[in-house]
Amino acid sequence: MKIGVADTTFARADMGKIAIDEIKSNFESVEIVRYTVPGIKDLPVACKKLIEEQGCVVCIALGMPGGKPIDRQCAHEASLGIIQAQLLTNKHIVEVFVHEDEAASEKELLEICENRARKHARNAVALAKGGGELSKFAGTGRRQGKPDVGPVRYH
């Protein structure tokens, strides 16, 4: 099984390295192909190339938009491109964006990057296996980057 990891030079943390470490530490039979691009709007084509040219069964698209309104717009445009790449390739691309304004400090920002990249790396492997593994977590309020919130309690 081959997984693509697309990341950017714009990001302030090496989330690609974190995701690769998570996959290698927990899944021995996974081959990883990394493709680094300048910014988040380059991620859709990077993932499409990883799928079509490198034979990846799933990709992780890691990026860090800045904290300004234009960065939110660029992130939205990149998300639309990632969705289009998924539809064109019929393969999952797990979008892993950490916005710079999600954290109050650089320490917290790095913690969010680490948590989100690791959890989504595990999600990508589950999707590569067919996605059935994730069914047991449906409706459980799992979060990536922040603590889980749990399911809504029925009274």
- Over the stretch 16-25, which tens digit does the pLDDT of each residue have? 999 999 999 9
Residue 8, domain CATH: 3.40.50.960
Residue 147 phi, psi dihedral angles, 5° rounding: -65, 150
Coil, helix or strand for 44? helix
Structural domain includes residue 45: yes
As a whole number of angstroms, the distance between CA 36 and CA 120 comes to: 18
pLDDT in tens, 75-84: 999 999 999 9
Domain assignment present for 146: no
Domain that residue 115 falls in:
2-137
Q: Is residue 42 one of the residues assigned to a domain?
A: yes
The tens-digit pLDDT sequence of the chain (155 residues) is 999 999 999 999 999 999 999 999 988 889 999 999 999 999 999 999 999 999 999 999 999 999 999 999 999 999 999 999 999 999 999 999 999 999 999 999 999 999 999 999 999 999 999 878 899 999 999 999 888 999 998 87
How far does Cα 47 stand from its chain's mean position? Answer: 11
Q: Is residue 153 part of a domain?
A: no
C-alpha separations of 82 from 48, 97, 133 in Å: 9, 12, 23
Domain count, the chain: 1
